Amino acid sequence: MWKRVLDRAGIREPEARRGYTELRREVRRFAPAEYTAARLLLPAPLQPDVVVLVAFMHETDDRIDRGALPEREEALRRWRALTDGALASGASPHPVLRALGWAAARHPVLRGRVRAFLDGAVQEVAWERFGTEAEVGRYVEGYSLPALMLSMGLLAPGGGAEADAFERACLALITAMQRLDFLEDLAQDVEEGRIGVSDEALARHGLTVRDLRPDTGRADGVAALVAAQADVAAAFLEEAQPVVGLAAGAHRPFLRAVLGVQELRAAAVRKAGASLVSRPCGPPPAGCAAVLLRELARRGAGRDRRGGA
């Protein structure tokens, strides 16, 4: 029960309990897969704050993803000012920022993580096209990684070489995740004029953005592009595997599940191939459920407590 989760997290004050509970309902609505994985596989004391961080990222993305560039820039400036104020005072009229203040009080490391995320959001506001693969990499490292580390930072080792290795593995993980996002959303992104496949990658297959529309007669080239980009994502997923062993045993089921779902996403993208120019794709729900259930059973058997990765 959620009330028991709040108890185990040490969240006793009535206003905080209400605030965390309201955000939990919101996150369950707009991010059901992430919510389910966190609730099933993360230790109870972390669950309320992870819910808050997911809500904060969602609210940030929603605010900076609308309108022309000057409007997005102004939205980010205002949101950053509100966020800074909430972290400084520990209070805010905005429910997400109020809860973020509670989470930062419980986990002071979040203050730096939030600043890094909002610094990187400048790139999210500004980008429209990537000329080269190196530009994709800079975007992922500058924005996507700080976004991931908001929550993954709570699962990281305490410091030193292991913490650095954990973050490097997280960079590989989010690189794979972001590249899969760009492929899954290719049809919508082409319509909106902001695609995540670089011009350099397109040119390798003799393609331009105009060829990424249905019925252009370039299905073979698009299929080859998708396969090559899926290969890149798969290589980064392999590089991310150490993230599990670097984490504490209680966090490993969740991290294995995250990796397992990304492998399902990569397989779905490969299968979709050239059809991605006309419709989005995602991992099979049954496969995702199987991954979660497998890790739930493994956690129940106590394998990670015995040191298995």
CATH of the domain at 163: 1.10.600.10
175 and 298 in a single domain? The answer is: yes
> What per-residue string of b and e applies to 115-125 under the rule 16 or more CB within 10 Å gives b?
ebbbebbbbbb
156 and 197 in a single domain? The answer is: yes
Domain termination site, one of 96, 126, 156? 126
Query: pTM of the predicted model, to two decimals?
Result: 0.93
- What backbone torsions phi and psi does residue 198 show, to the nearest 5 degrees? -70, 155
pLDDT of residue 305: 62
144 and 46 in a single domain? The answer is: no
**What is the tally of structural domains in the chain?**
2
157 and 286 in a single domain? The answer is: yes
79 and 212 in a single domain? The answer is: no
pLDDT of residue 194: 87
pLDDT of residue 307: 45
225 and 292 in a single domain? The answer is: yes
> What per-residue string of b and e applies to 25-63 under the rule 16 or more CB within 10 Å gives b?
ebbeeebeebbebbbbbbbebbbbbbbbbbbbbbbbeeb
Domain termination site, one of 80, 97, 126? 126
Query: Residue 183 corresponds to which tokens in the numbers above?
Result: 């492929």
Per-residue pLDDT of the chain (309 residues; tens, 9 = 90+): 899 999 999 999 999 999 999 999 999 999 998 899 999 999 999 999 999 999 999 999 999 988 889 999 999 999 999 999 999 998 999 999 999 999 999 999 999 999 999 999 999 999 889 999 999 999 999 999 999 999 999 999 988 899 999 999 999 999 999 999 999 999 999 998 889 999 999 999 999 999 999 988 899 999 999 999 999 999 999 999 999 999 999 999 999 999 999 999 999 999 999 999 999 999 999 999 999 999 999 987 776 764 444
User: Would you give the DSSP letter of residue 140?
Assistant: I
pLDDT of residue 259: 97
45 and 152 in a single domain? The answer is: no
Nearest to 151 by CA among 179, 186, 177: 177
118 and 135 in a single domain? The answer is: no
214 and 77 in a single domain? The answer is: no
Domain termination site, one of 126, 146, 171? 126
pLDDT of residue 309: 43
**Per-residue pLDDT reduced to its tens digit, 184-229:** 999 999 998 889 999 999 999 999 999 999 988 899 999 999 999 9
119 and 11 in a single domain? The answer is: yes
**Which domain, by its residues, includes 191?**
129-309
67 and 194 in a single domain? The answer is: no
160 and 121 in a single domain? The answer is: no
